[in-house]
Amino acid sequence: MIRYALKCAEGHDFESWFASGDAFDTLADKGHVTCPDCGSTKVEKSLMAPRVGKREGNLAPSNDTERQIAELKAKVEAESDYVGSTFVSEARAMHDGTKPQRSIYGEANPKEAIKLLEDGIPVAPLPFTPSRKAN
């Protein structure tokens, strides 16, 4: 996972997580990276100094980052349906119109996720491991 500082064409600054630099490029090229303030898809990476901390000899995120990820996890789990390993088929069915649109999260391997993006189905990696839930 990599976090980028981003800036839209309207000058709004924000941050987002991506599976890799290539994942950002793929999403941005397809117009799937949008500004949360204005919705612009003209988004570029900004200069960013990495936050590196030490905890017991291991690299660790800051407390603020941990808090933000925990808040994001709580929001996603409260407002989305966990579909587990059926994520790819569920996302494709919603895109094709054979299932109603809803917010979902689950698992997909990188190759499957890239194929969804290539097919115009917007997906994004989450910076946390989901709590296991029954479908």
Over residues 40-81, the pLDDT tens digits come to 899 888 766 555 555 555 555 668 888 888 898 899 999 999
67 and 125 share one domain: yes
Domain of residue 10, residue span: 1-46
pLDDT of the residue at 98:
96
Domain annotation covers residue 125 = yes
For 59, the 3-state DSSP assignment is strand
The pTM (predicted TM-score) of the whole model is 0.53
Q: Contact at 8 Å (CB) between 15 and 69?
A: no
6 and 34 share one domain: yes
The total of structural domains in the chain comes to 2
Domain annotation covers residue 135 = no
Domain annotation covers residue 106 = yes
Domain annotation covers residue 126 = yes
31 and 91 share one domain: no
Helices and strands (H and E) in the chain: how many = 4, 7
37 and 65 share one domain: no
